[in-house]
Chains A and B, each alone.
Chain A
Amino acid sequence: MLGHQFVTAAAIAASVLFILSLGGLSNQEKAKRAVWYGIVGMALAVVFTMFGPGIGQYWLMIPMMLIGAAIGTVVAKKVEMTEMPQLVAALHSFVGLAAVFVGWNAEMERARVMAMRAAGESLDGLSAFAATLAHKTPAELTFLQVEVVLGVFIGAVTFTGSVIAFGKLAGKMDGKPKQYPGGHWLNAGAAALSLVLAIAYLNGAGFWTLLLIAVLAFFIGWHLIMGIGGADMPVVVSMLNSYSGWAAAAIGFTLSNDLLIVTGALVGSSGAILSYIMCKAMNRKFVNVILGGFGGTSGPAAEIEGEQVAIDAGGVASALNDADSVVIVPGYGMAVAQAQNAVSELVRKLRSSGKNIRFGIHPVAGRLPGHMNVLLAEAKVPYDIVLEMDEINDDLASTDVVIVIGSNDIVNPAAQEDPNSPIAGMPVLRVWEAKQVFVCKRGQGTGYSGIENPLFFKDNTRMFYGDARQSIDALLPLLD
């Protein structure tokens, strides 16, 4: 058995390692080392806590860890890069569920210790968490109850929210926003009821209140995320990421464990910042995204004149052969069509003939922050030609050809030109400034948001209809 001082030292080391691990993600090369910091930190934390004072039941704990590790390994090896969003969502749900269980456990242990104390039994024989509880003052126990409520509530919202997000991202569920009549009033009602129950619980109403709070929170998580559409998923996933952190932090308070608090706070703030970045990239308020629906428009959208002119692979190929600089703007459509490898091949071919090929990535392209970068990396596109919106926007005017693959709203000029557009003010990639734009799209019609895109009607835009992967594959043999 290791003493308290070892456990504390390990916790400090682990905290530092976690911070280094997150900080190391500032660039691709450092990141490869940073992930090892995280792994070592986690190993230290788990091993030292396991063999710390007052822990038992290894016959249950170690097999569970091994099974969990095995499942985790299999999942991590098998997952396709296009499935990353749903994997992330699924993993969030686990943290949420674990937080709910640990919170319930804390309450059960508390009740047991209180009962023993009331009966005047000796508390010396207790082990593990119960032993810690036995030393707490009544005021500390009251605070512990508050922390339990918070942990359970946030954990439960995270759990069902993540399950729904997983279902929507994996396509097992309709991606369209859906809500019961009453909408957000139902959520507000459930939240108010939870508050009442929490007050009852603090006044000694018993374990059933905690169960009910969890059930209500399950409902809120489920109903809230059901009401959010597919394209807002980057925000939702970051938000759930944040919640899973806060849930861990709340549980850390309950268990008086600083390492849990530190880690929970790190994860929580990380998710919060990601949500903020995503919202800013869509020029929308966080509340507006979470409560669903686009902001109200102030008038009719501007009329679009002209027609969408189609082009075939031959036309695109000859333009590419003549171009010196090409920018590719991928979107969720590329992920859906699994076109990243075809795109990578296209890039390889164009680069080998000495052309300047770059990618322009909008912050909210895809269904997960940084989704496109990961897909392109998987397809072996070098990351130094994959640029952010702000890095590439000013170069677009001097670009010969822009190829838009499966993105729509993030290249919509209406966001800048039409003050009545629902997405007015959203920062977009100004692809229409390039000499020629090819839009690779499955067919006519508006995208997820239902907003007409004037880009498709511009004089220098040609529509390259068809499945993204097949279209690019058709293009490849036609290039010199």
Chain B
Amino acid sequence: MKIGAPRERYEGEARVALTPESAGHIQKLGHECLIESGAGQLAGFSDEAYEQAGVTVVADAAALFDQADIVIKVREPDDEEAGRLREGQTLISFFWPAQNEEMLERCRGQGASVIAMDMVPRISRAQKMDALSSTANIAGYRAVIEAGNQFGRFFTGQVTAAGKVPPAKVLVIGAGVAGLAAIGTATSLGAVVRAFDVRPEVAEQIESMGAEFLFLDFEDSQDGSESGGYASPSSPEFREKQLELFRAQAPDIDIVITTALIPGRPAPKLWLEDMVAAMKPGSVVVDLAAEKGGNCDATVPNERVVTDNGVIVVGYTDFPSRMATQSSLLYSTNVRHMLTDLTPEKDGQVVHNMEDDVIRGATVTHQGEITFPPPPPKVKAIAAAKPKPKEKEPTPEEKKAAEHAAFVKQTKSQVSMLAIGGVLMLLLGQVAPASFMQHFIVFVLSCFVGFQVIWNVSHSLHTPLMAVTNAISGIIILGAVLQVGSGNWLVALLAGISVLIASINIVGGFLVTRRMLAMFQKS
């Protein structure tokens, strides 16, 4: 099959869906790769680089759409591109089918299959093709860099000869992939980072990235697992509490990065006019939700605005495109993984398997029919968070009582064991001769000493312990030595053999123990 990547037409879009690296992998699947001339230019991949990777460079988009069996793109197609699609052709790109019904209908009309990279279900197996996550990751990183660019101070706190610099305080709202990436970047730059999310189960992830989780104690918290790991709209009471929390933070915070999105809805307004007003002059708000209307009241999509009190609000929507090389590398790898799943035999034959959860979920039109929205996947995205049962702290009295009960129980069992043992000894003493009982005392005491001593042996020395006990169990040689002087030739012979093998044991056991112990070294 021929896989072709056209140049992106969208204004300001620098990314490309095919890189020389991903082309190499795709060719290994048995496919042939095409690229429109100049498609990789803005992302830093020249036509020559593609040619070296064995990609055929095609002069213009029309020719490319004509030749390719599968067209891979970054942005959803525009009218012209949609018009070029033909029956049996497959398009792989971001598509946003819920917002783009018209375009969806159009592509169906053209008879092409469309695989929307934004519809890849969120299950473990599909992580490698989760383009939303890789894009969000870049956006989160870039948002911090952008904020740093606008912010007039250091991120990290310093004490210099020229005075003390306090660390920047960063608030990240929404701890999805972008939020976590932003937290990671901001903490590694040295800022003090706080983060908030409506899903309490992400607290652990936030803390693992080095930020402080702003905890909102509210009974009716959301369970993110119900909605495939995404947030859903919250109740008005919850929203009120949440805004209160933000309002308290606003005067203290230098940089706010908002990433709150709810799938298929306009972005929730979380950073209101009064909060912006409460911020110090020179503070920065980066709104990653600008494309969906913005989380901040002051956001103007695609613009950087400065409010009356000197707060800079950044509403750019093209963060991934601003890092076109990195974005293209990651996105093309996601697409490449999708193609790998579409080519199960690695023989260049595409099998559009609608039984497969991932392929089914991402396919929005197929064989002239609209297949969106997909049925819920068979596998749940993340396991439901188990409610943590609160362990009751026992009162001191209860503790005491429990300890006492355990003590009594232990005493009882020990006393009864001793009693049984004593009775057995008494019975044995009735029949056994006195000399036997003497030896028996020695035996019992030795067992006790053995038990006391062996418990202290370090775990790592168990093998040497076995070797030593092996060697000293060669003490059986004494028995043979005592018997070897017998007048009976058979007894002497058997005793002789016993002496021989017991000697092997003694010498072998001790030597090997010494060898082992000599190897143990301190660093």
Contacts and interface: CB of A to CB of B under 8 A. Distances in A.
Interface of A: 15, 18-19, 21-23, 25-28, 31-32, 34-35, 38-39, 41-42, 45-46, 49-50, 54-57, 60-61, 64-69, 71-73, 75-77, 79, 81, 84, 87-88, 91-92, 94-95, 97-99, 101-102, 104-106, 108-109, 112, 126-130, 132, 137, 139-140, 143, 237-238, 241, 244-245, 247-249, 251-271, 273-274, 277, 305-307, 351, 361, 363, 368-371, 373-374, 377-378, 380, 382-386, 388, 457, 459
A202 B236 CA distance: 91
Given A46-B478, A64-B500, A108-B488, A88 B470 contact: yes
Contact of A76 (B124, B457, B461, B511): B511
B488 A109 contact: yes
A101 B498 contact: yes
Contacts of A67: 500, 503
Given A22-B453, A75-B508, A371-B463, 20 more contacts: A21-B468, A31-B461, A67-B500, A67-B503, A71-B503, A72-B509, A98-B477, A102-B483, A102-B498, A108-B488, A126-B487, A143-B436, A238-B466, A245-B473, A248-B476, A268-B447, A351-B523, A368-B462, A378-B519, A382-B521
B501 A94 contact: yes
Nearest to A107: B491
A102 B495 contact: yes
A256 B499 CA distance: 18
B521 to A, nearest CB: 6
Report the interface size class on chain B: 35 or more
B480 A101 contact: yes
Interface stretch (B4-12, B163-171, B438-446): B438-446
A45 B476 CA distance: 11
A56 B460 CA distance: 43
Contact of A68 (B472, B487, B503, B515): B503
A15 B471 CA distance: 14
Contacts of B457: 22, 25-26
Nearest to A20: B453
B485 A23 contact: no
B374 interface: no
18 contacts: A22-B465, A31-B517, A61-B484, A79-B512, A95-B470, A109-B486, A126-B487, A241-B469, A245-B469, A254-B479, A263-B475, A264-B473, A267-B450, A274-B462, A351-B523, A370-B465, A374-B464, A378-B516
A106 B458 contact: no
A369 B465 CA distance: 9
Contacts of B124: 305-307, 457, 459
B514 A35 contact: yes
B127 A459 contact: yes
Nearest to B514: A35
B407 interface: no
B506 interface: yes
Given A22-B468, A23-B456, A94-B504, A261 B463 contact: no
A251 B453 CA distance: 23
A108 B472 CA distance: 26
Contacts, number: 385
B513 A46 contact: no
A91 B488 contact: no
Nearest first, the 3 A-B pairs at minimum CB distance are A68-B503, A382-B523, A370-B462
Given A68-B502, A273-B454, A87 B512 contact: yes
B435 interface: yes
B523 A384 contact: yes
A129 B483 CA distance: 5
A92 B470 contact: yes
A65 B453 contact: no
B130 to A, nearest CB: 12
Contacts of A21: 468, 472
Contact of B485 (A55, A68, A378, A384): A55
A269 B454 contact: yes
Contacts of B480: 98, 101-102, 105
B454 A57 contact: no
Given A262-B442, A265-B450, A237 B472 contact: no
Given A22-B465, A38-B472, A109-B491, A260 B507 contact: no
A68 B469 CA distance: 18
A35 B513 CA distance: 7
B522 interface: yes
B125 interface: yes
B474 interface: yes
Contacts of A268: 447, 450
Nearest to A76: B511
A274 B476 contact: no
B363 to A, nearest CB: 21
B342 interface: no
B484 A137 contact: no
B481 A50 contact: yes
A38 B510 contact: yes
Contact of A72 (B432, B463, B494, B511): B511
Contacts of B468: 21-22, 25, 34-35, 38
A263 B473 contact: yes
B518 interface: yes
A373 B517 CA distance: 11
Contacts of B491: 105, 108-109
A75 B512 CA distance: 9
Given A369-B462, A370-B459, A383-B522, A99 B476 contact: yes
B519 A380 contact: yes
A72 B505 contact: yes
Contact of A42 (B439, B443, B475): B475
A126 B124 CA distance: 83
A81 B516 contact: yes
B496 interface: yes
A241 B523 contact: no
B161 interface: no
Contacts of B379: 305
Contacts of B490: 108
Contacts of A258: 439, 442
B184 to A, nearest CB: 13
A77 B508 CA distance: 8
